[in-house]
Amino acid sequence: MTPLSVKIISPEGVKFQGDCTSLTFPVFDGYYGIQPGYENSFFKLESGTITIKNGSDITKFTSFEGTLMCENNSVTIICK
């Protein structure tokens, strides 16, 4: 399966750009996860931890609100 392409952008610039097999992020009622092939969606992010998994590699980022757009296996996150 084709991995998700992820880009995380903050006011300081691009914090992460790469592929992943799953992505977990904070929303108003807890945490939500997506994988490759997920439908096109838009989410409002809450403060919390964004977790990016690529096989056995795990990368975590702290976010302070923002937005996430998933479109055609590409995810763009804009956060504080």
pLDDT in tens, 8-57: 999 999 999 999 999 999 999 999 999 999 999 999 999 999 999 999 99
Output the pLDDT for position 7: 97
Spatial strand order of the sheet with 57-63 comes to 30-34, 22-27, 48-54, 57-63
- Protein fold of 4-79: ATP Synthase; domain 1 (2.60.15)
DSSP single-letter state for residue 64: -
Look up the pTM and report it: 0.92
